[in-house]
Structure formats: structure tokens, C-alpha cells
Amino acid sequence: MAVAKKYMTENPITLGSGDTLQQAVELFADKGIGSAVVITPLGEVLGNMTELSLVKALVMSQVTKDANQKINYYKEILEKIHFVDEDGHVSDVLKSLIQSTSHRVLVKDSKGKMTGIITPKDLIRNLSGQFDRKDKKAILEEMEDMQNQMDEMKEKMVDLESYMDVYDTVFQSGVYMLHSSDKDGVIVFANEKLHTTLGYDNGDLLGKSIYEIYPKSVHSQVKAGLERIRLEGKHSQVYSSMVKKGGAIIRIDVASASIKDKNGDFNGTFTISREIESDHLLRSLHGIIEEGSSYGEIKD
């Protein structure tokens, strides 16, 4: 009978729950792998660290400013692990592979200890074994289901690629300047448009205080804006200024929103801004003054 133990790869590559995200990145790069099982010092399996979950963890670490955060901190975003027994039938293995989003299944012995891992490649390498007619029919049906699942995944990947094109166009090189800061006002994300407009090489703004991109004349406005975002969750569009690397001042309109953690605690801000021409600003101010005068709201 075709059982899981026959197809598994022994001693799968693993990550320790106490390893850092940087160690995970290095392991993926050195071994050329797309996922790794995460285990505790006691041998408990926490989940599967995939490339996607690693990227999510790295993004989250930018907000917390701790790139060396332990993997255990991000256990909630690890992929759920599917197990099969060593003596489980190959058709059961195929079902578990289909259910697993990364198409990986762990094999355990009678004591519950992990003894190996099975991927679709493991099955392909070994499917030349001897099966009876019933086995062959069941396996062919399961493999057809798997192919359908893979086709659906390919379609989703095409959608993902289109989303990434949109991300690059809108977020990186679009018309708006975007940046995000942590709760202490340190910039953890800044798009290409902001770097280019302010005269910085891409990536140079990361780690700087937001006060470094605003002139001293508006620092009190920035401080008040941060407090409003922390208390109210956002601030509406306002006119302000930014300072370029060389010291030149540009006029901008800007709006911000708060970033909160899963407990609802304030964790930072996300800001969108754009440079505005002086004549556009004057026309806008003229409209505000005219409107205010009509309602008696503008006072000397």
C-alpha cells in the first residue's frame, strides 16, 4: 500500500521560534526555499513561514522599528500546518496538499513527532510505484483536483502581478508623495515620489524624523497635527510646507491618518501630500477669504 512515509523527505529545513526575521531571510536565500517550518525549543510546531508571511512580518517590523524581532512574535501570521500520519494513504496526502495554501504537508509518527515533509515534487518523484486499480483511480481524481487548484492559484498570481504594477505606479512613482512614521515620528516608509521631490536618493529618508522634512516655521503645526491624529484618528487636508535636502521650501497640501495595532493602540501615521504651485495656492486662499468674508468668519 502507498503510504506517506514512502514519499516524505526526511529532516526538513526548519526555523526556530527564537530565530530573527533576518535569519529567516538569510535561510530562504541560502537554501533557495520558499517556506520553512517553525518549531519551538521543545519541538512544538508553530506553523509554516512562507515567503508571503515573511514579507508581512518584515513590513510589520518596520513600524515597530525592530528588524531583529523574533519569529515567535509573528506566530499569528504563520500558515497553518497540515499533518498526515506516516502510514496515511497517498490519497489522504493529496487531499492535505490541496488544502495547504503552500502545498506542503508534515509527516508525524505514532508519537506525534515530526519525521518528514511532503511536497508535490516528492510525489512526482515517487509515483512510479505499484498501485492497484482502485489506488490509481483515487490518485488520478485527487491529482485532477490539485491541478484545478493550481490553475486557480496561477490566475490569482496574474491578478497579484497586476496589483503590483498598480502599486508601483500609484504608490511609488505616482503624483502623490507618501510617507509613514512610527509613534515617535520616525519615518519608516517613504515612496519614490517623496524622495525625488525633496532631492534625496531613494531610501535616504528612512530613519529620519519627520521634523527633518518640514521647515522649523511649521514644526508647531506638525506637532499639533500629530496630536490630532493620535486623538482623532486623522486630520483633514491642510496647507503646509516641506523643506528640500538643499534647504529650499516647497508648498504642499497634506492629509494624514493614524495606524493602529491589533489592540487599537496608536502605532504611527500614514501621510499623503502633493506639491502645489503658488498660483494654485493663491486662488485657493482667495476662495477661502471670499467665503469667510461672506459668512463673517475671517477676522483680523
Quick one: pLDDT at residue 247? 93
What's the CA gap between 241 and 276, in Å, rounded? 10
154: in domain: no
Domain harbouring 93, CATH code: 3.10.580.10
What's the CA gap between 46 and 81, in Å, rounded? 8
Domain harbouring 225, CATH code: 3.30.450.20
**Pair 31, 117 in one domain:** yes
Cα–chain center distance at 81: 20
285: in domain: yes
Grid cell, residue 113, equals 513527532
**Pair 189, 287 in one domain:** yes
Question: pTM here?
Answer: 0.43
pLDDT averaged over consecutive 10-residue blocks of the chain (300 residues)? 78 90 88 88 88 82 68 86 85 79 83 86 63 53 60 51 47 72 87 91 91 93 87 79 93 85 80 72 45 34
Quick one: pLDDT at residue 99? 76
**Pair 14, 117 in one domain:** yes
Q: Are strands 187-190 and 234-243 parallel, antiparallel or unpaired?
A: unpaired
**Pair 16, 104 in one domain:** yes
Quick one: pLDDT at residue 144? 63
